[in-house]
Chain A
């Protein structure tokens, strides 16, 4: 039982980071039908901008995080505007866009490595007091991250359900042509979606780096596997599915790590992903694309 509870704690924190990342990733897929495999490289670049502001400009890590968030937003916006959109205009098959995204990922990740080198970094930040409750061990920092996740998920829910922009996003995702006929400037909506999802990406990169403690340029390279597993579990393009998928994958990987060899904890994500792709490629609940 105690193994279960303590690993559940780890599960919640990885689920929190994963949820922020997956929601951004899935929103990009929803409005533009792009599997943006360069997402991990934008995450880690944002984390490094936070690092720069934190370490070299001596800003508090939480303040510096704003820089990371903005980096993610603008990098994602530019990526869509100047790479994915031009390629999509040529009516290429989705696989070509995926290959382009992989190319961008290499440029982003290793461009960063060329600048910062291969060493490890960490933020100037205290983990805070270790808290022990209900059999879980979490640091204050981790609790804050979980808190951020809850707030962000609430904001996304509010955005999608109650704001004009959010509804326009969902409408664009469901039927872009009809959205235009309703007077929605879908290009702007798509740009806004990439800005917002990019901000989530930057945030996810920063809290990912905070949570791992030490990180390097290539740290987020394999994170895309967890992202994909969480997204396909909840149904590609669905924000709520992404939240649920992230919670499941995050908790399942850590709990399995608690009971088996932690080295293999990602295996469960792998099995989930392949199973979903084989049997339910549009998610456990969905058959339609929807934010």
Chain B
């Protein structure tokens, strides 16, 4: 794998963050810390507030209380474009590319903040990560398959060599094999090259396999967190997904 995208990761820290729409909190008092070279995952059932948490960190949903920092910079409630400029790359779960734009143009938009003459070389670097995209540069993003589209979405974010990668359910709607490859090869790879990765995943066990630290969110609160191998054997972990006392029995 290419090392040209190696970045100097920064620490992304959420301290006691509550966030939501119209002044009503959906997630409450969340503490999360993601550090360079590590994958931190947030898992939990649908509707537990995982996506809302991520969106609040990147400026899409207002933070109602608490603070978010990247490195030494306070980014609480900054505009999304300001947060992007500070090196936080965010891949939303849906609407993650610009469908009418070509693959190349999507990547160029990803490199919008780069000096003009660096764009082409950075596209080359990103394409080394995702060589499959190379064959479809002029195709419209809306016409890609699910897996290709996700690669493009990640490639778009990598254009800025972000110090922090924030990924919202990158494997949703992907075939299991593609999903595993995406998680184990690419996302783990980003961290191994020094990036900070904060990942929301619904495929909890798959997320555990590549994570260094995992938080379980339920009802908008962190109910469980720890190193993956501790969580895996914790009966509470399965229960928080499938519910009921059956798992305990």
Chain A residues packing against B (C-beta within 8 Å): 164, 167-168, 170-171, 174-175, 177-186, 288, 290-291
- Are A175's CB and B85's CB within 8 A? no
Number of B positions contacting A (CB below 8 A): 27
From the candidates A167, A182, A288, name the one contacting B156 in the complex (CB within 8 A): A182
- Measured between beta carbons, the chain A residues less than 8 angstroms from B224 are none
- Are A177's CB and B80's CB within 8 A? yes
- The reply to whether the CB of B178 lies closer than 8 angstroms to some CB of chain A is no
Shortest A37–chain B CB gap in Å is 25
Q: By DSSP majority rule, is chain A's interface helix, strand, loop, or mixed? A: helix
CA distance A183 to B90 in the complex (A): 11
In the complex, chain B residues 71-100 whose Cβ is within 8 Å of any chain A Cβ:
79-81, 84-85, 90, 92, 95-100
- Are B109's CB and A167's CB within 8 A? yes
B7-15, B110-118, B129-137, B190-198: which lies at the A interface?
A: B110-118
- Measured between beta carbons, the chain A residues less than 8 angstroms from B101 are 167, 170-171, 174
- Are A182's CB and B112's CB within 8 A? yes
From the candidates A174, A185, A186, name the one contacting B100 in the complex (CB within 8 A): A174
A-B pairs with CB below 8 Å: how many?
68
CA distance A175 to B99 in the complex (A): 9
Of listed A164, A167, A182, residue having the most chain B CB within 10 A: A182
Contacts A180-B84, A182-B84 given; does A168 touch B90 at CB 8 Å: no
Shortest B12–chain A CB gap in Å is 15
Shortest A53–chain B CB gap in Å is 37
- Measured between beta carbons, the chain B residues less than 8 angstroms from A290 are 99-100
- The reply to whether the CB of B64 lies closer than 8 angstroms to some CB of chain A is no
Contacts A167-B109, A171-B101, A288-B100 given; does A180 touch B81 at CB 8 Å: yes
In the complex, chain B residues 131-145 whose Cβ is within 8 Å of any chain A Cβ:
142
- Measured between beta carbons, the chain A residues less than 8 angstroms from B58 are 181
- Are B85's CB and A183's CB within 8 A? yes
Contacts A183-B81, A183-B112, A288-B142 given; does A177 touch B100 at CB 8 Å: no
Q: Report 19 cross-chain contacts, Cβ distance below 8 Å, ordered by A residue.
A: A170-B105, A171-B101, A174-B98, A178-B92, A178-B97, A180-B59, A180-B79, A180-B81, A181-B90, A181-B92, A182-B110, A182-B112, A183-B81, A183-B85, A183-B160, A184-B112, A186-B81, A290-B99, A291-B100
Question: Hey, what's the 0/1 contact readout for B167-211 against A, CB within 8 Å counting as 1?
Answer: 000000000000000000000000000000000000000000000
Residue of A nearest to B160 (CB): A183
CA distance A79 to B122 in the complex (A): 39
- Measured between beta carbons, the chain B residues less than 8 angstroms from A177 are 60, 80, 92, 95
- Measured between beta carbons, the chain B residues less than 8 angstroms from A170 are 98, 100-101, 105
- Are A171's CB and B109's CB within 8 A? yes
- Measured between beta carbons, the chain B residues less than 8 angstroms from A175 are 95, 98-99
CA distance A164 to B109 in the complex (A): 8
CA distance A290 to B113 in the complex (A): 23
- The reply to whether the CB of B108 lies closer than 8 angstroms to some CB of chain A is yes
From the candidates B59, B85, B95, B112, name the one contacting A164 in the complex (CB within 8 A): B112
- Are B99's CB and A288's CB within 8 A? yes
CA distance A5 to B203 in the complex (A): 66
From the candidates A167, A180, A181, name the one contacting B105 in the complex (CB within 8 A): A167
- Measured between beta carbons, the chain B residues less than 8 angstroms from A288 are 99-100, 142
- Measured between beta carbons, the chain A residues less than 8 angstroms from B105 are 167, 170
CA distance A92 to B74 in the complex (A): 34
